[in-house]
Amino acid sequence: MNPSTASEPTASQNVPDASGRFGPFGGRYVPETLTYALDQLLAAYDAARNDPTFQAELDGLLTHYVGRPSPLYHAQRLSQQCGGAQIWLKREDLNHTGAHKINNTLGQALLTRRMGKSRVIAETGAGQHGVATATACARFGLECVVYMGSEDIRRQSPNVTSMRMLGAEVRPVTTGSRTLRDAINDAMRDWMSSVESTHYIIGSVVGPHPFPRIVRDFQSVIGCETREQCLRQLGRLPDRVVACVGGGSNAAGMFYPFVDVPQVKLIGVEAGGRGSQPGDHASPLTYGDPGILHGSYSYVMQDADGQTCDVHSISAGLDYPGVGPEHSYWKATGRVQYTTCGDQAALDAFDSLARSEGILAALESSHAIAHTMQLAAQLPPHEAVVVCLSGRGDKDAAEIARLRDSIASRT
């Protein structure tokens, strides 16, 4: 089932409003030059949503190219080990390119073609969104330029190689902290001078209206499938649903189809890093304040002067100082509970899942697994917790081994 062909949204799902607001959050804080491109994107998206041809093409790609629906898997040995509730994994790690990001990039590549544009730009931190964008561009014959901080290029070189093999140009960003947020700034700057021919494929539910809504809708295939699979495999909806939150796209896609079912508790897990001090974590919903970052009003990590703080997480995909505005809205309304999981707990959960189930999870996803394991241990065996396994861990294996060695040599 595709989210946009699903029934009309309920009251609790009926955000954003026409100006892109989720309550007070969201909106559009951009220079005049981008207003036209954002309006054009919104018009193209509204037309596409109501066009059965667009939906059929996207559904076909999701089935035959991505490999959807992704399985809902009962992790029996992990559940037994935790000694409480049943843990179910939504296997986004089994998608083509190894994570949920392809759900969004294919949708936006289709929109690019619909707008008659031939060039795509994207930002990437860990490189996962860069690879998913380069993949979609290769599939549709679109020119692709990916902005990436020079520090991230060094840390994530296998993904850089993949992007180049897929025909993308990777442009190093050497300003600021040389990481994801600087790459977004450069991509925005490119877009201001190239909007006629170029679409900017944003990688999460962040940025100015209408990006948070579009990315959420494309990712909602995760939650829609999960609802149906739960009814079929458990005979009912789950008691709790857990997902990790970086920019917030896998979580938004997982949660959105459940927000109108109050008995299903929703839990977002941010990167708690090394501790609660600024610079030691990437948890804006837990420790930050509302502010403007990358064209949108949402929780953000900023210092007393309103400057965006540096952030830290062991997983590059969660290492972002902001979060999508819909999450800020869900926090404010109390619909979703947000918590954190630190570096070490994520590493431990990575091991537990590998050894009990034979699955290497992405370090990002391992944050959600860690919280799910703690939660399950406190719940009775008849309860069911579904966790979004947002991606696979092959990309992280070498880094985890390196961290182990450096810890071992210190002790």
Ligand X SMILES: *Cc1c(COP(=O)(O)O)cnc(C)c1O
Residue 119 CB, nearest approach to ligand X (Å): 23
Residue 13 CB, nearest approach to ligand X (Å): 19
Q: Is 204 in the site for ligand X (CB under 6 A)?
A: yes
Nearer to ligand X, 283 or 365 (CB): 365
Give 314's contacts (C-beta < 8 A, 6+ positions apart): 271, 273, 343, 346, 347, 363, 403
Q: Is 393 in the site for ligand X (CB under 6 A)?
A: no
* Two tokens, residue 328: 């800020």
Among 78, 163, 314, 362, binds ligand X (CB under 6 A): 362
* Two tokens, residue 59: 């559904």
Residue 315 CB, nearest approach to ligand X (Å): 8
Per-residue burial over 111-131, b if 16 or more Cβ lie within 10 Å, else e, is bbbebebebbbbbbbbbbbbb
Q: Is 349 in the site for ligand X (CB under 6 A)?
A: no
Nearer to ligand X, 120 or 126 (CB): 126
Nearer to ligand X, 247 or 325 (CB): 247
Distance of CA 80 to the CA centre of its chain: 29
Rounded Cα distance between 244 and 250, Å, is 7
Rounded Cα distance between 293 and 314, Å, is 22
Q: Is 41 in the site for ligand X (CB under 6 A)?
A: no
Catalytic residue among 92, 123, 151, 364: 123
Catalytic residue check, 123: yes
Rounded Cα distance between 36 and 317, Å, is 30
Catalytic residue among 296, 328, 352, 390: 390
The stretch among 43-51, 145-153, 298-306, 362-370 that binds ligand X (CB under 6 A) is: 362-370
Residue 131 CB, nearest approach to ligand X (Å): 9
Residue 52 CB, nearest approach to ligand X (Å): 28
Q: What is the three-class DSSP state of 266?
A: strand
- Give the contact letters, 364-383, x = binds to ligand X (CB under 6 A), - = no: xx------------------
CB atoms within 10 A of CB 398: 10
Phi, psi of 362 (to 5 degrees): -60, 150
Give 399's contacts (C-beta < 8 A, 6+ positions apart): 155, 363
Catalytic residue check, 220: no
Residue numbers 225-284 binding ligand X by CB under 6 A: 244-251
Residue numbers 304-333 binding ligand X by CB under 6 A: 317-318
Nearer to ligand X, 247 or 321 (CB): 247
Q: What is the three-class DSSP state of 239?
A: coil
Residue numbers 133-162 binding ligand X by CB under 6 A: none
Q: What is the three-class DSSP state of 67?
A: coil
- C-beta separation of 356 from 60 below 8 A: no
Among 28, 101, 240, 281, binds ligand X (CB under 6 A): 101
Nearer to ligand X, 37 or 215 (CB): 215
Nearer to ligand X, 134 or 195 (CB): 134
Nearer to ligand X, 187 or 195 (CB): 187
- Reported residue count of the chain is 411
Nearer to ligand X, 85 or 205 (CB): 205
Catalytic residue check, 270: no
The stretch among 2-10, 42-50, 182-190, 361-369 that binds ligand X (CB under 6 A) is: 361-369
Residue 172 CB, nearest approach to ligand X (Å): 20
Among 45, 88, 391, 396, binds ligand X (CB under 6 A): 391
Give 136's contacts (C-beta < 8 A, 6+ positions apart): 102, 105, 106, 108, 109, 120, 142, 201
The stretch among 31-39, 159-167, 220-228, 358-366 that binds ligand X (CB under 6 A) is: 358-366
Amino acid letter for position 294: H
Phi, psi of 212 (to 5 degrees): -60, -35
Residue numbers 8-37 binding ligand X by CB under 6 A: none
Give 148's contacts (C-beta < 8 A, 6+ positions apart): 123, 124, 125, 127, 130, 156, 160, 170, 171, 172, 173, 183
Q: Is 99 in the site for ligand X (CB under 6 A)?
A: yes
Rounded Cα distance between 230 and 373, Å, is 19
> How wide is the angle at C-alpha 186 spanned by C-alphas 181 and 191, nearest 5°?
125
Residue of this chain nearest to ligand X (CB atom): 391
Catalytic residue among 4, 90, 92, 101: 101
Which parts of this chain interact with ligand X (CB under 6 A)? 99, 101, 128, 204, 244-251, 317-318, 362, 364-365, 390-391
Q: Which residues are known to be catalytic?
A: 101, 123, 390
